[in-house]
Each structure stands twice: as C-alpha cells, then as structure tokens.
A and B are shown apart, each in its own frame.
Chain A
C-alpha cells in the first residue's frame, strides 16, 4: 500500500497556502493530520500531485475562549481538544465526542479542521458542529468568509468549500445546558453505526431550547430542527422523547454496509438518539 508520488509544500502562512492552492489547481490538496487523506492515497483512490502541509502555519493552531465565544484553529488535534481544560468547562461535549473518535494515536494526529473539511459522513465532528450551530471560517486567495456548519455539507466528500479555500478555524457559542454525544460502533477504531449529538437547555423544568444532529446516517451529517422542535417546551418525558426521536429518524437515510442493513441502522439510530436526549436532559 504505497501512495503515488507527489510534490510537497510546507507554507508558513495561510495566504501562501491559499495561493499555492489556486496556482496548483485541482492537482493540489492540503494535508492536515493526514489520517483520512493518507489512507486514501495509499489505496490510490486520490490522485494528488501536490500536497500542501499546514503544520507550520501558526495561525491555524490554538483554542481561544472569549466569553462564550469559542474559536478553535483548524490544526488543533483531537488530542488537544481532549486535553484542553478551558474547553472542557465551556463545551464539554467536544471532549466527550473526541474521545469516541478512532484511537489514541489517530487522535494525536487527526485535526478538527481535517475532520470537518473531509466531508466523510463517518466523521464525528461535522454532526457535532451542526448541533452547536458552529461557523466554519474559510480563507481563499480573495479573502475570508464564513459558512455555517449546517450549510456546509452537500454530499459525501462534497462541501461548500471552494477548491482554493482553506478552512482556518471553527467558531461557535458555548452551549448552555445539558449535552451528550452517543455513538455506537463495532470496536474502538471504527466509525459510527449510528451517533447523535444532543444539546438541551432547561428552564423551569421545561426544555428551553434543543439541538439534535446525527452522524453516519446519511451521506452528510444530519441536523434535525424537527427533533429540536418536538422537545422544546416539553418536560422531556417519554412522550416528547419518542416524538423527537421519530422526527429525527424522518430526517435520515442510512445505507447498508458491513455494520448492518438499513432496518437495523434505523432502529439503532432511534435508540442512540433517545439515549442522547435522555443523557443530555439529565445533565441540563
């Protein structure tokens, strides 16, 4: 399993990375942690002539928490997300989710930026980012823009990112209330059979606001406003949870793979969503 040859670039700032991307066109790709890209290259499923390694770009690193605004650089690794105490205080769901991604070695290398830019429906962070209502910060040769995570994913491996844009950071507002990231997988190192991110705010014993998103249950992550609506204003009792789960299931379109057929996945998705809601509510 040997990748085809390529030219290697290691720019030190975002602008030069973006202009390299423009100059080299669709023969070029950026390389973050490489733990989605390199396996693909080894199978020679991706023909890439130029790799632009982002590791020396300081502007893509670091986590900043300003009041309740959290900004995470694209090159922050999953291990760094897990280790960051400040982040664990304001948005503990990131640690909870990141711990369920891959294994320790992969988490040292894999980045948040790579995970959300990749566009693989199996990646866990995109669904979580949709639940959080995060914005993705993109910089191209012509400047910077923001795209909402909820608008970013078009189909498997197809995103709103232009080919010459670099995802520089992810920004979201720290979610108040309870949270849960539930994931079923066959073993450590496996992608989700079904996973769900749930955020719930509680006021006066009722659901004040909620957000529900799912991973690996369609060709993109799925954010379900209908599920949130079914919860909002309720006491999050069995009835409400059932309604929310049903609403969420109406939004997914899983496919059969080695993890099992569609009927199984839909059933497990329902269980996972229900459990995520219950746990998020218990923490709200």
Chain B
C-alpha cells in the first residue's frame, strides 16, 4: 500500500501470537481481587450447607437423630440417606464405573465420610447445627493396608456382595476391584528368567492430595418457575458435570446450566463429582432457594480425591553391558472405599503402561490390582496425566536400582537405553505409539548444563571427606529423563462415562475484526484466556488482544471434556487451530472475490491474503471480516464463524531431562536444594512465559510430594495429615530457584505441533528429587527407600546405613 505500512516483523509482533511471552489478560482482574470464585457468589435468599461427617473409618450407622439440629432457629433442613433414597440419590455413579454413597447408607467406610447435610440460613448456624446432629455408630474392624484387605474376612463393600465382576472384569475377593493387565506376561517372564542381570524392587508411591489453594464448592439454584437448574462450582469438566447431574436428577440437559467460574487451582482435585454437589442440588430443589456448599481445608484433605497410593513391584532385566531387555511390574493399587478414580473408562489404571518410559525396552508386562480399603476414595491425576506420575517414578527408580545392580553410572545407563530419534514414531512394548522425541540431544544438553562430570567428582570428594569425618553433609545428584503421555482422546480409546474425550472450539469474528472464541475446557490458572487467543491470533491473523476467550459455561461453550491430564493444549488447543483454519478457508474465498482473483492466486501472509506476485494487492483479515458481514458475496453465506470438534489422532508425548543437586544433613535429615535444572520439550512453545511458570509450579508440587507431602492414616483409619501444619506445602522459604531450559520437538500430528506442559514438571520432578536423596546415599549402600523423604525418613536411611556412628 504505502511506505508506512508496518513491516512483516511488526505485523507478526502485533499479533502476539505463537511463541510470544504475552502478558496474561486474566491478571488485571486477579491482581485487583476481582476474580470470581465460587465462594464469591452470593444470591438473594441463598442458604448454606454443611456436612456431618464420620469420625470413624469403618462403622455401622445405627441412627441419625436430627431433632435438636432442626430445632435450632435458622436451620431449614437436615438431609440423610433416607431422605435421598426415594429420589435414588443416596448413591451416585463414580467416574470409574463404581458407585459411591452420597450420604452414609447404613455404614461409613472412611473417616470424614458424609453422613448428613445440614442446610441453614448462614454458615454459622449450619456449623452449630452440625454439632447438634446425633449419630450413633457401631465401630467395625478397619482395613488400611491393601495387602491385608485382600486377605481379610472383613467385607468393606457389602453392597457389592455376591458380585464376582465389576466394571473392569472379575473380582477375586470381596475387597478386590479389578485386575488389569497389559503386555506379554509369558515373554517378559522368560526374558527375566534368562537375563544376565535382574534388579527387583518394591516401589511405593505414597498417597497424597492435589490440595489446590481453593477447596471444592458449589452453588445450586433451582428455579422452580422455569424449571431450570443452575450450578456453579469448582469443576474441571463442567460439561461432564452437567451430563452427570442430568442423569442423576432426571432434569433434562437443556434445563441445566453448569458454570465453572474462576477456579483457584485444580490439579485433578476438581475433576470428580462430590457428594457436596449432589446435596446442594437436592437441597435447592427441596427448599426452592439457592444453596451454597464450600468445604473447609480439613474436609478437602480428608474426603475429596486423593492421588497415587500405588505399591509397585518391579523387575527389570538387562545384559551385562546394561542394555535393558525386559520390564515386569505388578501394582497393588489402594483405591479407598469407592473406586472413584478419574481415568478414561477403558483404563482403570490410567496410562500407567507408559511405564517403559524413555527407554527402548523390547518386552514388558504390567498388572494392576485395584483394592478397597477404609480410606477416602479418589485416585486422581494430581497434576499429571492418568497414573503417568506413578509410571515415571517407577521406571526412573527402577533404572537407578539397575544402575546400582550393574555398578554403572545412572546417566550412562539411561543414554544407552534411550529410544533413538530415528526410531520415532516408536511403538512401545506396552502398546503406545510415541509421536516424536529426541532424547539424546536433550540429555546431553542437560548433563552439559550442570557439568555432570564435575558434579560427580565433587560428590566423590564429598564421600571421602565424609568418611574422614570432615563433613556431615552428603551430596546427591538426582537424574530423571521422563516421557509423559498427555492429551486424551482419541475418542476411539478414551471416554469418561461413555463421553468421548474430544474437545472443541467455536469462534465468531465480529465485523470490525475482533472475535470471541469459546472452548470446552476450563482454566484453573493455566492462562487459557491468554494462550488460546495466541493460537488463534497466529492462525487467523487478528491480534490476540482483540480475541476474547470464554470457557466454563455449558449454556454457551461447546461440549468438551474439560481440563486435566494436560489435555487443554493438545486437544482444545488443536481445536482452536483447526477452527482458525476453517475461518481462513472462508476468508480466502472472500478475499479472492474482493481482489477479483482466483483463490489459488492468493498467499496467506501473517494477517492477510496477498495476490501472488503482487505484494501491494492484499486484504487483511480485518478487511475480510468487515466484508463478510457487509457485502453480498455470490455463493457465500454472510458472516465469519466456525466451530471445530477435535478428536486427536494420537496422544502427545512431551519429555524432559531434570537434574537436582541436593545437600543432605545426615544427622538431622534436613536437605537443601542447591541447584535444579529442568529441560522440557513440549513441542511447539505457545507462550514461553506461561510454560516457565507452569514448570516452576509443577516442580514445587513435586518437591512437596517427594520431600514430605502425604495423606497418612493410623491403624484405625484416622487421617493424620488433615491440616496444612502436617500436610506439607512448602513456603517461598523452602522452595528453591529453578533453571529452566528447552528443546523443541514438535508433535507431528498436532496442528501446531504443541504437546502440553502443565504436568511434566510434576511427573519428572518427583523422581528427580527422590533420586537425589537416593543418590546421596548410594556410596553407602542404599538401594531404595520409600517416599516421602521428610526429615525423619531421611534420618532413618542414614541410621539404617550405620552413618550415625
């Protein structure tokens, strides 16, 4: 046009599209305290619900007396299982094909279980009324150990008595849920029998909890006049909640509106459906008034979805030279009182069979036994894809144990076993098709960045100094190379409650060249409003700043399966890219008409279509948007809108190399993280600033899990860690600075090559921290010690190795 027109670089910069560290649009609200979280919702006439919970882990409920509570002024109702039974709502289906009591039906199966729901004018009255509900219990024997549960005569789930099969096949004992197997057992065992070297270990990944800073809650409002139910809540998957609510209540889906407002962190905790949601809905239907329920932190830690609790028995075979020849694993999975894992239906152990990790292992077998115990239900993907954290921890510990068995350096052992770049797409022995990767390059970059050889020399010197009595501190070098699997779908394999795990994006371009896009996912801090706009900006050539992103309202957002398992970028991000391409296709036709050329004579260039060979002749997307609404174009409908439902052809496989350098005080069990280097390869990088933030956050959650965070029970099933005094969440003081780095191996099947990153740092971080602890004691004979590595357990390692003199 004229000389003043911006340069191509300027036009690219102006979009703030892919690869740009765009500042987050959400933050203007959040920094002013203007977020809108569920507890901020206040409706006229709103009542408050609160639970009476079981103090016992296993007991028969003899009676519930609500009289005194009902007599308290301001108490509107007290609901028990008896009240819910006529509506058939005293039990509800879980995401894992089991069912769960909404309110105690005859017995309680874990401490903190919901027994009665009090509804009152405000939260103070509700809390007073909870104290006044008299429940008579008769204690029953408690099973907290899954191995003992499988031997015990005590029947936990009397409701299942006589059922020899569950949702995932045969049950061999009344406390058994399923056995799930993958791989070639016979071939694997044959390899193990004839191998040069076999390392065997029991690896426990302890029970923990996602514990987002905001607890779970909901506000239900049944409008009896128009028959519409509105439900606001902490939902990582609002559409799934709507479908479940409809199935449960019999209210048709179009009469239910589910809204996820801002969510104060989810990390898997907010995927499931909890009794509090159901009770709020029922209470609103019964009272005709809006009802709010927000749990407190103790309730959150005691009763909502836990994570992990996998006892992983492993055997790994190798040649004398260290080439891995086979991997065998059996897991005893403690699922608690109800099987409420949030896994895709066909995968009762999630994607645990990614446990061959980054290594080219010719043959493998996995078997997982799910077991009922008197603990809270759950088993969610705490900042990881379904059971991938467990798998990564397992293989990264097994490799270390094998290195000890072989007397080899653990970095070298990994290197000689990595899947090579030329082997991708790689078919793993347990059935996955890894999309892309270049592990050797990442590994070498990581080792060089920390001066690995220098660290080993320093460590050797330290061991000598320790032996001479000159220091009481040991140095641990924790290595990890992990491969994640994220982005469920594809629909042919992955569904939740029968709903295929696709995701969606809908976009409407306004005449003046701004746009609104809606997605089936929901941000819990990942910055979707920022990054999805960036994907769209690059695809359609409108500035990210003029694209509004909306999520979380089932009345407006297209159907989608929600945000967990790092699936937003791989699935909804792809839907965004695809919808952008649909827009561009139509825009091209419009541009051709406006410029009076054939479509094929146009090239797309950043934000415009340009006539081939005539760069001065072009139409920008902004021009085209205007024309789409204001000009009658022959053969084309007016408007510029599109929707895309994306069913991914495969999952994506982000990977990374993490190295943790840790100082350990042998006498007190305290540790100090001296250095943490994290290299992530998440394919195409949409917003480096957001990626870095995700890595920092995920590593800090990994630090917590590895170094102290657990949900622990005593022998009679009391939860010992239900406050933030005992449930370890590090403060800024205990948290180190991290160095982040990257390589970029795009996913070949994803429209923009992105793989997802939110959960990698937790998957890779836990083994890195844990391996550092183990490595510090390797020279003194340590093979394996269970997490979490809090002060006393590290002290115990030293003590058992005789290091306390």
Touch A–B, Cβ below 8 Å: yes
Which residues of A pack against B, CB within 8 Å?
A: 1-2, 4-5, 44, 103, 184, 186-191, 193, 258-261, 263-264, 267-268, 271-272
Minimum CB–CB distance for A92 against chain B, Å = 22
Tell me which residues across on chain A come within 8 A of B725, comparing CB atoms: 189-191
Across the interface, A2 reaches (CB within 8 A) one of B127, B708, B721, B799, namely: B127
- Does B667 lie within 8 Å of A258, measured CB to CB? no
Tell me which residues across on chain A come within 8 A of B445, comparing CB atoms: none
**Does B298 sit within 8 A of A, measured CB to CB?**
yes
Distance of A260 Cα from B731 Cα, bound (Å): 21
Tell me which residues across on chain A come within 8 A of B731, comparing CB atoms: 103, 187-189
Distance of A186 Cα from B708 Cα, bound (Å): 9
Distance of A154 Cα from B728 Cα, bound (Å): 32
- Does A188 lie within 8 Å of B123, measured CB to CB? no
Minimum CB–CB distance for A265 against chain B, Å = 8
Distance of A251 Cα from B730 Cα, bound (Å): 33
**Does B790 sit within 8 A of A, measured CB to CB?**
yes
Distance of A186 Cα from B723 Cα, bound (Å): 14
- Does A187 lie within 8 Å of B734, measured CB to CB? yes
Provide the main secondary structure of the chain A interface: loop
Distance of A268 Cα from B790 Cα, bound (Å): 13
- Does B296 lie within 8 Å of A1, measured CB to CB? yes
Tell me which residues across on chain A come within 8 A of B669, comparing CB atoms: 264, 268
Tell me which residues across on chain A come within 8 A of B131, comparing CB atoms: 4, 44
**Does B8 sit within 8 A of A, measured CB to CB?**
no
- Does A267 lie within 8 Å of B667, measured CB to CB? yes
Minimum CB–CB distance for B469 against chain A, Å = 12
- Does A260 lie within 8 Å of B792, measured CB to CB? yes
Interface residue count for B (Cβ, 8 Å)? 32
Minimum CB–CB distance for A121 against chain B, Å = 15
As a 0/1 sequence over residues 274 to 296 of chain B, the CB contacts with chain A under 8 angstroms (1 = contact) are: 00000000000000000000001
Of B725, B733, B734, most A-chain CB atoms within 10 Å: B725
Tell me which residues across on chain B come within 8 A of A264, comparing CB atoms: 669, 791-792, 795-796, 799
**Does B668 sit within 8 A of A, measured CB to CB?**
yes
Distance of A271 Cα from B733 Cα, bound (Å): 23
Minimum CB–CB distance for B470 against chain A, Å = 15
Minimum CB–CB distance for B733 against chain A, Å = 5
- Does A1 lie within 8 Å of B298, measured CB to CB? yes
- Does A187 lie within 8 Å of B728, measured CB to CB? yes
- Does A259 lie within 8 Å of B792, measured CB to CB? yes
**Does B23 sit within 8 A of A, measured CB to CB?**
no
Q: Which residue of A lies closest to B124 (CB)?
A: A2
- Does A258 lie within 8 Å of B720, measured CB to CB? yes
**Does B161 sit within 8 A of A, measured CB to CB?**
no
Tell me which residues across on chain A come within 8 A of B799, comparing CB atoms: 263-264, 267
Minimum CB–CB distance for A6 against chain B, Å = 12
**Does B726 sit within 8 A of A, measured CB to CB?**
yes
For this complex, 14 residue pairs linking A to B, each with C-beta atoms less than 8 Å apart, are A1-B298, A2-B123, A4-B128, A5-B128, A44-B131, A103-B731, A187-B728, A187-B730, A259-B791, A259-B792, A261-B792, A267-B667, A268-B791, A271-B667
**Does B712 sit within 8 A of A, measured CB to CB?**
yes
Distance of A191 Cα from B731 Cα, bound (Å): 15
- Does B668 lie within 8 Å of A184, measured CB to CB? yes
**Does B224 sit within 8 A of A, measured CB to CB?**
no
Q: Which of B753-805 contact A (CB under 8 A)?
A: 790-792, 795-796, 799, 804
A268-B668 contact in complex given A187-B733, A259-B791, A260-B792, C-beta closer than 8 Å: yes
Minimum CB–CB distance for A65 against chain B, Å = 31
- Does B298 lie within 8 Å of A258, measured CB to CB? no
Of B730, B734, B795, most A-chain CB atoms within 10 Å: B795
**Does B670 sit within 8 A of A, measured CB to CB?**
yes
What are the 9 closest A-B residue pairs judged by CB atoms, nearest first? A260-B792, A2-B127, A264-B792, A258-B726, A271-B667, A188-B731, A188-B733, A1-B296, A187-B734
As a 0/1 sequence over residues 726 to 762 of chain B, the CB contacts with chain A under 8 angstroms (1 = contact) are: 1011110110000000000000000000000000000
Tell me which residues across on chain B come within 8 A of A1, comparing CB atoms: 127, 296-298
Distance of A263 Cα from B796 Cα, bound (Å): 10
Distance of A267 Cα from B804 Cα, bound (Å): 9
- Does A184 lie within 8 Å of B791, measured CB to CB? yes
Distance of A2 Cα from B48 Cα, bound (Å): 13
Minimum CB–CB distance for B309 against chain A, Å = 18
Tell me which residues across on chain B come within 8 A of A271, comparing CB atoms: 667-668
Tell me which residues across on chain B come within 8 A of A186, comparing CB atoms: 708, 728, 790-791
Q: Which residue of A lies closest to B720 (CB)?
A: A258
Q: Which residue of A lies closest to B734 (CB)?
A: A187
Tell me which residues across on chain A come within 8 A of B127, comparing CB atoms: 1-2
- Does B720 lie within 8 Å of A260, measured CB to CB? no
Across the interface, A184 reaches (CB within 8 A) one of B670, B712, B730, namely: B670
Q: Which residue of B lies closest to A185 (CB)?
A: B791
Tell me which residues across on chain A come within 8 A of B791, comparing CB atoms: 184, 186, 193, 259-260, 264, 268
Distance of A1 Cα from B724 Cα, bound (Å): 14
Tell me which residues across on chain A come within 8 A of B720, comparing CB atoms: 258
Tell me which residues across on chain B come within 8 A of A191, comparing CB atoms: 725
Distance of A44 Cα from B55 Cα, bound (Å): 14
As a 0/1 sequence over residues 512 to 526 of chain B, the CB contacts with chain A under 8 angstroms (1 = contact) are: 000000000000000
As a 0/1 sequence over residues 357 to 395 of chain B, the CB contacts with chain A under 8 angstroms (1 = contact) are: 000000000000000000000000000000000000000
Tell me which residues across on chain B come within 8 A of A259, comparing CB atoms: 791-792
Distance of A2 Cα from B796 Cα, bound (Å): 39
Distance of A5 Cα from B125 Cα, bound (Å): 10
